[in-house]
Amino acid sequence: MGLTFKGDATAINKRFLDAQKEIEDKALRILRYCAESAINEARTAGSYRDVTGNLRASVGYAIILNGRIAEENFSGASEGVSKGKSLAQTLASQQPAIALVVVAGMKYASQVESRGVNVLTSAEQMAKTMVPNLLKQLK
């Protein structure tokens, strides 16, 4: 004798989809908070002299959901902003499900960092600590 399901499969599926959406929304909220904190850290604690304004303007973030940018924050209208957005878009296409990407889009950002000057290091360390701690609270 086998079991026969007599419930509403559509209602069950909807409950699973609603639960998935709720988890995604909470994760996005956490990532947004961490990202805003990280870029504020990078923009204010950057210990370099930004002559053109492009390097600091290229600092921003993108929250990626299923390979597409769900949210981003880049401020200004300089070359740095377009470089930062372009780098974030490239990285987004390489991410599988959900990710936070904090970038400094100017090509010379790594050279500045290699001289012992803080561009993104403190922001990265902050995000690496904050994200796991806050995501644990989702459980």
Residue 2 lies in a domain: no
User: Using 50, 70 and 90 to split pLDDT, how confident is the model at 37?
Assistant: very high
Checking if the pLDDT of 92 tops 70, the result is: yes
Q: What is the helix (H) or strand (E) element at residue 100, kind and residue range?
A: strand 98-104
Which stretches of 5-96 are DSSP H helices?
A: 9-45, 54-57, 79-92
Domain tally, the chain? 1
Residue 1 lies in a domain: no
Residue 98 lies in a domain: yes
49: alpha, beta or left? (left if phi > 0; alpha if psi -120 to 50): beta
Q: Using an 8 Å Cβ cutoff, are 67 and 96 in contact?
A: yes
Question: For the whole model, what pTM was predicted?
Answer: 0.80
Q: State the residue range of the domain holding 99.
A: 9-136
Residue 3 lies in a domain: no
